[in-house]
Amino acid sequence: MKLCTRSPTRFMPLLKVHQSSRRHATCTQIAPADHGQLDQVEVYQHQLSLVSPVDTLRYILLNDMRPLLHQMNMRAIVKEAVPPPNPAVSFPINGQMLDPNEFRRLMAIKGFTKFHRKLMKEQMLRCQNPQDILRVVAVALQRKDTSLELAAMDLCLVRAFYRARETTTDHKIFGAINTVISRFRREGLPITRYFLAIGIKFAARSRSLPGMKRYLKLYRELGFVMPRNLFRAIIAKFSVGNNGYGEIRNGRWSRRDLLQVLLGFDDTPPGEEHHLGLFLDRSEWTQLHGWMVVLSRCKATDELWKEWLNI
């Protein structure tokens, strides 16, 4: 098909107009008929020939996707990015603990932080006595990453020690808590106030003067603020006298030892006191009431008068 134009007659022999053979082209192209006058032909070609949008789109797509085309094995790349599935583990259906050798083998596998945390939690839920808890702690402390995860699972440890009261005495539980806290401090692991609080409670239950001294000092060194519930729980475990006011499951406190816990230890230098009276908030009536009650149990008349005069 020829295109008729109103161009001057002298340019007509130089141009030969025909339709493009490409299906997507919607414009006409100009082919030179004579190579003698190329300048005029190039001018008309520049004005009349249009670049197809399909060619432009194809060029953009090919240049943008070229890096992806060079990666022939995309499946291997995705497989490397996605973490492998957790190892298969099946706990006994009767609530028993996992076999110690199997638990040790699973904890030795590297690169499964969440799996290790879940495994330790499930194992501690099945602990029946302090020995079981210490086995879990010993396996977890063999590696740095699992040690940090164990230190963050303070509430799981607290629940495990409370459940162990059904099968053993408070003295054995207190000994296990001492072992765990000693290992934590030796490894440089953080000790939370929840786990330290259970150490103070079981020291009070066990009537242990060195335990109360140690944990009250540690509680003060770490800068923890004693909440009123913990203060009242400690007071409730101070049973003294023949009547045995307070908790008497493990006997009664000696009046002399209890006064040291309340008012100050004998071998503590001045300026380093860490007795229970330093944690008393006298603006809180529940704490002050418990404080007055325990002083009356110890028959500390002078201290009672001081408190009444300060009210």
Whole-number CA gyration radius for the chain: 42
Q: Which residue has the tokens 């493990």?
A: 250
pLDDT band of residue 175 (cuts 50, 70, 90) is very high
Query: And the tokens for 85?
Result: 């599935």
Cβ atoms of 133 and 158 within 8 Å: the answer is no
Max Cα–Cα distance, the chain, nearest Å = 134
Domain boundaries, the chain: 1-52, 99-191, 211-311
Strand, coil or helix: what is 243?
coil
In degrees, rounded to 5, the angle at the alpha carbon of residue 224 between the alpha carbons of residues 219 and 230 is 80
Among residues 182, 176, 123, 177, the alpha carbon closest in space to that of 149 is found at 123
Record the pTM.
Answer: 0.69
CA distance 137 to 195: 14
Q: What is the pLDDT of residues 67-121, one digit of tens each?
A: 655 555 666 666 666 666 666 677 777 778 888 888 888 888 877 788 889 899 9
Instruction: Evaluate the CA torsion angle 200, 204, 206, 209 in order and state its sign.
Output: positive
Q: What pLDDT shows up at residue 78?
A: 61
Those residues with Cβ within 8 angstroms of residue 94's Cβ, 6 or more apart along the chain or in another chain? none
Tell me the percentage of the chain whose pLDDT exceeds 90: 36
Q: How large is the average pLDDT for residues 203-227? A: 92
